[in-house]
């Protein structure tokens, strides 16, 4: 557990009263503890003494943890953040030498291409995102983006997108190729230093935009939110009519308590164990909605935005600082490590939403 600056507890369970505050210190401790576990978990280990960059734990950590620097009085990246960034940088520099996260096999053909595409997008997103404060891309971020473009699909129905890991696990690894392409657009759209206007990547940019626009209407609401996030930094990515439609579709799903439920944002998805999806408001859906709406230009004071932020402030767990979120794939014990995966992502996006709203 880190020594961090703690704020005020988000909830008072003993009296049943909800506070208007949340605890940045506990959120940081939860995120740091989880990434420390992930970096040493045997199942996350990869070749050359590296570890997997996951959609649910390490990637959200790598883009979300920095949102707490100001609240905690941190002058730069924390020790755990540095370890994650160093791990990614190592794999970026050794791109032609490191093994894919999941290689092809008789039981899982095509996993090498899916792994390369997925990792290339996450690497580019994380490194370029962390360059935003400096206002320019580092050499390693440029290399990560080059690696990403080398994995872009050049033909077929998914031309312009990237291979993406498919393990039939929603929302990150199940029918989620569009999600991956949208994250690539976030990386490109928010990359500092005018990167998107480089003539060298004009064809790549056009192909990525073409795919995202072409396939937009058939996507799940949660994936449309990610491309809306990308459009906040890439103004001509989506027509204004599409942006407004995504916002309208999203806000219509707000629950009476002000939160959002991921179960309503993923379409007709069924768990493998046939248990019902958790229908109540959850931290992941509410945080992604709140953060994305703010990025999309919804002004502070907007009732939908404010109610979602209030839900986040009121629903941080006192015990460990996380926001609860639930697996779409099976009913999980939320005290187990796999059972926390969705809460890992929820907590990272929650701190981004809450800090951006200040």
What does each of the 358 residues of the chain score in pLDDT, given as a tens digit?
443 333 322 333 333 334 469 999 999 999 999 999 999 999 999 999 999 999 999 999 999 999 999 999 999 999 999 999 999 999 999 999 999 999 998 878 999 999 999 999 999 999 999 999 999 999 999 999 999 999 999 999 999 999 999 999 999 999 899 999 999 999 999 999 999 999 999 999 999 999 999 999 999 999 999 999 999 999 999 999 999 999 999 999 999 999 999 999 999 999 999 999 999 999 999 999 999 999 999 999 999 999 999 999 999 999 999 999 999 999 999 999 999 999 999 999 999 999 999 8
d(CA 345, CA 342): 5
344 within 8 A of 61, measured Cβ to Cβ: yes
d(CA 60, CA 324): 15
pLDDT value for 20: 64
pLDDT value for 107: 76
Tell me the residue ranges of DSSP E strands in the chain: 11-12, 17-18, 45-46, 50-51
Pull the structure tokens for residue 63. Answer: 């883009």
d(CA 266, CA 275): 16
d(CA 181, CA 16): 43
132 within 8 A of 190, measured Cβ to Cβ: yes
User: What are all long-range contacts of 335-340, with beta carbons under 8 Å and residues at least 24 apart?
Assistant: 337/37, 337/41, 340/34
Q: Which residues contact 243 (CB under 8 A, 6 or more apart)?
A: 228, 231, 296
pLDDT value for 19: 45
Q: What is the pTM of this model?
A: 0.94
pLDDT value for 18: 40
Q: Is the dihedral of CA 119, 121, 122, 127 positive or negative?
A: positive
271 within 8 A of 290, measured Cβ to Cβ: no
């Amino acid at each position: 557990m880190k020594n961090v600056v703690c704020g005020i507890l988000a909830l008072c369970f003993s009296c049943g009263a909800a506070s208007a505050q949340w605890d940045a210190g506990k959120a940081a401790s939860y995120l740091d503890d989880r990434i420390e576990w992930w970096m040493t978990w045997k199942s996350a280990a990869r070749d050359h003494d590296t570890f997997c960059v996951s959609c649910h734990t390490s990637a959200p950590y790598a883009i979300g943890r920095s949102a707490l620097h100001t609240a905690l009085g941190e002058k730069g990246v924390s020790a755990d953040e540095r370890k994650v960034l160093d791990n990614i940088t190592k794999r970026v520099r050794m791109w032609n030498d490191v093994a894919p996260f999941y290689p092809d096999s008789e039981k899982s053909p095509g996993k090498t291409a899916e792994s390369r595409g997925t990792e290339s997008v996450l690497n580019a997103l994380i490194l370029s995102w962390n360059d935003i404060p400096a206002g320019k891309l580092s050499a390693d971020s440029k290399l990560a983006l080059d690696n990403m473009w080398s994995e872009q699909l050049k033909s077929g129905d998914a031309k312009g997108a990237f291979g993406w890991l498919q393990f039939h696990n929603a929302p990150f690894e199940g029918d989620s190729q569009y999600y991956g392409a949208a994250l690539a657009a976030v990386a490109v759209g928010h990359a500092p230093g005018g990167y998107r206007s480089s003539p060298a990547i004009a064809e790549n940019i056009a192909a990525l935009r073409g795919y995202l626009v072409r396939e937009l209407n058939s996507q799940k609401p949660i994936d449309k939110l990610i491309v809306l996030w990308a459009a906040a930094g890439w103004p001509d990515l989506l027509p204004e009519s599409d942006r407004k439609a995504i916002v309208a579709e999203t806000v219509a799903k707000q629950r009476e308590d002000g939160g959002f439920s991921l179960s309503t944002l993923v379409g007709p998805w069924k768990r493998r164990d046939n248990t019902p999806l958790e229908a109540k408001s959850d931290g992941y859906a509410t945080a992604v909605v709140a953060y994305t709406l703010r990025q999309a230009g919804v002004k502070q004071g907007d009732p939908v935005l404010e109610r979602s932020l209030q839900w986040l402030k009121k629903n941080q767990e006192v015990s460990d600082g996380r926001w609860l979120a639930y697996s779409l794939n099976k009913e999980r014990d939320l005290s187990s490590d796999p059972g926390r995966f969705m809460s890992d992502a929820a907590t990272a996006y929650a701190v981004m939403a809450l800090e951006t709203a200040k």
